[in-house]
Structure 1
């Protein structure tokens, strides 16, 4: 990594955008190459599940569903009761489709209820942190609509794992670390702690981890599908019969019962009324490249707003990761994230978010006028996009009261853990042109398991606010989607797929995805170089987890950052923090139209892994 960083610094000092082409960088992981398909995910076993489906003739949607199912089963920072969303490129329609399979607040979840419990925000863990499960519904809907295989076929790898698989150290150690909380929930204790009473109560790394309740639940879904097929139903109808069993049948009944037994609010009606939404994605054009994101119920538009501002700036001339480059991106992200923190929320609830104004090029030009090239602005706040859609801002009274207060840029372990909580990624592509980019999440360890289903519940309620002065668009209401960090990405160039990319780790996602994208577009890196290249991290935004803290001026850099860069950034008002790896984890597929092949990139940060053919 040190060699890579020094080469990147050389690129910065020479400000030569072609340095990566003229002097190829030796990456720690090799790039993936394939001409038939590509499967990249957050864990090796997830990529293997995708490869298994591809080898049986499945398309990229089939493979993504198998990878999602495997990731949930191995608790790759999510479970089956979490939330799923995706961007899917449909090769026949030649368009990007957005999938919203995020859960909603239960019918009993009100501001008054949580305040009566003494909460400033909904809790981080436990049954009161849960929105309705979205992952199973999202998986089954995209499989029915865009896949080719049966639910039985795509669930086979996950069901084999539920019957018993060798658990990896990361998850096993997370269970042991969180066992005190896990013991508060009887069904979680039964699943996670097979060695109760011993010094180590969690499974050991490599131990066969068995989830019989989950296996039984998945078998019920397959049984519902197979019964429907025997009755002459079509593939789609049969998959939706399984969907109905989960959300309206005996599985839903047990989820509701088990959740309420442990103090949660989810009811059978909440599950029956929930629906997957097929949406139009948001997008902007950056120097000829159309970048697509999910709507404002995610943080995805942050990257789009940032790109609108950055296209007015000569980034290449600054040099890669120079102090000027870092300062400029930091300031741009301050402005975009300040808008996120005040304006983003559920587009299906009142009030309506001012997205036309927020994504207008004219608004972006006005925002960048606020940047001080010499100093960080710790009090950068949201702007007023309403005039850019010919409307008057109904929240000027609280917009003008978005004071930062005392600035505290000190980072601590709890804040950093909350800031990067949860999420994995699934990115697939096939030779027929299908592409899927996902960042599924929710139900991470320590999760409350819903009765005898084996389903770990989401913890996404904590993303809501209870005070409209913080964000009038993201105030908790029954049936509402919390504004989340989950943000898959797709980009098209000349009307054809260019990049599919995704990243885990909470509020880090769009800031590092932005830097990855610029690594390729502005500095000519290969997709693998771009995933491994050192990035920086800002905390000058409200965390979407825990106590929603904000750390203006705090900046994480790679530990090999030269001293003269550090000194310049300190002079600009930053409080510096260093990490040995700042590269991701990012997974991506680049579409090489010259050679009609795929390039896969998977960063060297965590356990991300890919397979191509």
Structure 2
């Protein structure tokens, strides 16, 4: 493959940050310059992303992180994925005449998780005070930032809807009664005041005590009060075409907090790849890698038909299992050991032929056959629901700016601490702004099914099975690589393609991001309206006409995307000699890596 890239791979020894917005990457690196570690930098980066990319994430969203701490010597997962409210029963939603949980509005809300997750990371692994790491985000919310054209266009497209249906959102996103122009200096004084009050209410004799008091102000104090007071009387329009009230309560917020857990992992050609549990889609990447061990990918042209076809077909099989078997392991016994086993992957690999599959083919694990059958039935179902543009499906430019998406960040400091995180939810287009707080709630409950007996069925206090999936890999047992991307169901697909080319074809971090990407839409979508598109895939045109025609000849239904519109990857790496590297995609002209 050609070595030309749109920008250099960043190299240094002091530290590196990469994220989906240049301001946030610079903020994170500034924290490193001030003596903070990777955890301090990650928190400051993330809070800034909530300000400058409000169409992609917010304080009331959700966040998984995978990190390695030099101090503890451990690689861990931080789960800041909020759970369904106590009143979130299937019967309640069915009584409203719903077959799917709407992709926007108040019914789609689970407990907000992102803020508490970042505070937990800062308390346990950071070194700086809450005021120090929140200062940049407060400043950009108070004093303004050049609003991204995509943010401005998103607001403009929804301005009339906001004014009519969500007036609290209209007040925040359309100051002076109109949407901001692209690159206009945009301010969110309510959000600045909320962040500042959290800092002001952070009291106690130690840094840790102060952070915990801010967490209490969020979950039991003024933030929880403002949310509960609003929900007590609010009834708002959502994508179903009807008005609904929310069911999140003060108790739901007070009783939940972010947690740590062990990652799932597999070994692949010298790397140990770590992902979240099956409450995220992370194990999909691990399953796909296990399947692909049975193919000589290094001998394939990484832009050729055989490579693309093989990877697409392996992903179809892994994603079919995601739909059948993944869910919150705290509520349902998930057969992850079987799904990640070498023997199971070998049997799955035998299903890949030279022809594109158009069937949904989850594996049939003994004792779990009913889940597989249900997944096949769902994928063939037309849910006959409103499919409006504000449904909230994370996408990229080849679809619509009115739908939500996600952000990603990677940080490595000079000591070798590593953070990979993919925050999302709380999009400006997903739910009305809570009056006085300057941010909306999330819409993550749309990922539950309103059918009993499934690992991803709606149930009180259950985590939705999300698409959020950061990655961290060890090389020869040493923590080495952090990577990820926004993109909903495509996250583990784009990461996989990038990682395979990195491992098998020698592309450096930036070369892999600039190379043409692809993904399949064959399986059940995770977001309202939950469509499946058998045999369909999308690919960037610079892969080459020969490859595209070759894929069509094998039976793939190929959509050629607009140039430079697939994938928003970033990554960071630590070499054995201490050299640090980072890279970020040029797509959408927002993401940047910073380092020295």
Q: Is the CA contact 2:67–2:77 (under 8 Å) kept in the aligned structure 1?
A: yes
> What is the distance in 2 between the residues matched to 1:53 and 1:323?
44
Question: Quick check: 395-404 or 547-556, which moved more?
Answer: 395-404
Deviation at 1:395, TM superposition (A): 2.8
> What is the distance in 2 between the residues matched to 1:465 and 1:406?
13
| Residues 1:90 and 2:69 aligned together | yes
* Corresponding residue SS for 1:593: coil
The structure 1 residue matched to 2:446, chosen from 462, 481, 495, is 462
Deviation at 1:403, TM superposition (A): 7.5
| Residues 1:293 and 2:271 aligned together | no
| Residues 1:128 and 2:107 aligned together | yes
1:361-510 → structure 2 map (5 Å cutoff): 361-372=342-353, 374-386=354-366, 392-393=367-368, 395=370, 398=373, 402=377, 405=380, 418=393, 420=395, 421-446=404-429, 447-468=431-452, 472-510=454-492
In structure 2, the CA distance between the partners of 1:64 and 1:127, relative to structure 1 (3 Å rule), is: same
> What is the distance in 2 between the residues matched to 1:405 and 1:65?
42
* Corresponding residue SS for 1:163: helix
Deviation at 1:99, TM superposition (A): 0.3
Q: Is the CA contact 2:112–2:442 (under 8 Å) kept in the aligned structure 1?
A: yes
1:588-599 → structure 2 map (5 Å cutoff): 588-594=571-577, 596-599=578-581
Q: Is the CA contact 1:29–1:603 (under 8 Å) kept in the aligned structure 2?
A: no
The structure 1 residue matched to 2:43, chosen from 65, 83, 88, is 65
Q: Is the CA contact 1:76–1:424 (under 8 Å) kept in the aligned structure 2?
A: no
In structure 2, the CA distance between the partners of 1:592 and 1:112, relative to structure 1 (3 Å rule), is: same
Deviation per CA, 1:109-163, whole angstroms, max 9, x where unpaired?
2212222222221111112221111111001100000000011100000000111
* Corresponding residue SS for 1:140: helix
> What is the distance in 2 between the residues matched to 1:327 and 1:218?
48
The structure 2 residue matched to 1:246, chosen from 211, 214, 218, is 218
Deviation per CA, 1:154-181, whole angstroms, max 9, x where unpaired?
0000000111313222211111112233
Instruction: Name the residue aligned to 1:188.
Output: 169
Deviation at 1:468, TM superposition (A): 4.0
| Residues 1:217 and 2:189 aligned together | no
Instruction: Name the residue aligned to 1:168.
Output: 148
Question: Quick check: 293-302 or 124-133, which moved more?
Answer: 124-133
> What is the distance in 1 between the residues matched to 2:418 and 2:568?
20
* Corresponding residue SS for 1:491: strand
> What is the distance in 1 between the residues matched to 2:310 and 2:259?
37
Deviation at 1:182, TM superposition (A): 2.3
In structure 2, the CA distance between the partners of 1:143 and 1:400, relative to structure 1 (3 Å rule), is: closer
Q: Is the CA contact 1:132–1:266 (under 8 Å) kept in the aligned structure 2?
A: yes
Deviation at 1:497, TM superposition (A): 2.0
Deviation per CA, 1:251-298, whole angstroms, max 9, x where unpaired?
211111123332222111010011111010100001221000011000
> What is the distance in 2 between the residues matched to 1:404 and 1:168?
36
Instruction: Name the residue aligned to 1:261.
Output: 233
In structure 2, the CA distance between the partners of 1:583 and 1:189, relative to structure 1 (3 Å rule), is: closer
Deviation at 1:93, TM superposition (A): 2.9
* Corresponding residue SS for 1:345: coil
Question: Quick check: 237-246 or 87-96, which moved more?
Answer: 87-96
> What is the distance in 1 between the residues matched to 2:394 and 2:312?
17
1:24-35 → structure 2 map (5 Å cutoff): 25-35=3-13
Q: Is the CA contact 1:583–1:604 (under 8 Å) kept in the aligned structure 2?
A: no
Instruction: Name the residue aligned to 2:399.
Output: none
Deviation at 1:220, TM superposition (A): 1.8
Deviation per CA, 1:190-236, whole angstroms, max 9, x where unpaired?
1111132xxxx2112233322222122112211122x32xxxx2211
In structure 2, the CA distance between the partners of 1:267 and 1:365, relative to structure 1 (3 Å rule), is: same
In structure 2, the CA distance between the partners of 1:55 and 1:396, relative to structure 1 (3 Å rule), is: closer
In structure 2, the CA distance between the partners of 1:49 and 1:100, relative to structure 1 (3 Å rule), is: same
In structure 2, the CA distance between the partners of 1:430 and 1:173, relative to structure 1 (3 Å rule), is: same
In structure 2, the CA distance between the partners of 1:394 and 1:378, relative to structure 1 (3 Å rule), is: closer
Instruction: Name the residue aligned to 2:127.
Output: 148
In structure 2, the CA distance between the partners of 1:104 and 1:413, relative to structure 1 (3 Å rule), is: closer
Instruction: Name the residue aligned to 1:586.
Output: 569
> What is the distance in 1 between the residues matched to 2:566 and 2:108?
30
The alignment's C-alpha RMSD in Å is 2.1
Deviation at 1:62, TM superposition (A): 0.2
The structure 2 residue matched to 1:51, chosen from 8, 21, 29, is 29
> What is the distance in 2 between the residues matched to 1:559 and 1:397?
35
Instruction: Name the residue aligned to 1:11.
Output: none
> What is the distance in 1 between the residues matched to 2:7 and 2:59?
30
* Corresponding residue SS for 1:453: coil
* Corresponding residue SS for 2:201: helix
Deviation at 1:542, TM superposition (A): 1.0
TM-score (norm: length of structure 2): 0.91
> What is the distance in 1 between the residues matched to 2:192 and 2:565?
37
In structure 2, the CA distance between the partners of 1:266 and 1:431, relative to structure 1 (3 Å rule), is: same
Instruction: Name the residue aligned to 2:398.
Output: none
In structure 2, the CA distance between the partners of 1:402 and 1:139, relative to structure 1 (3 Å rule), is: same
Q: Is the CA contact 2:103–2:393 (under 8 Å) kept in the aligned structure 1?
A: no
In structure 2, the CA distance between the partners of 1:208 and 1:260, relative to structure 1 (3 Å rule), is: farther
Deviation at 1:417, TM superposition (A): 7.8
Q: Is the CA contact 1:283–1:304 (under 8 Å) kept in the aligned structure 2?
A: yes
Deviation at 1:94, TM superposition (A): 2.6
In structure 2, the CA distance between the partners of 1:564 and 1:272, relative to structure 1 (3 Å rule), is: same
> What is the distance in 2 between the residues matched to 1:415 and 1:163?
28
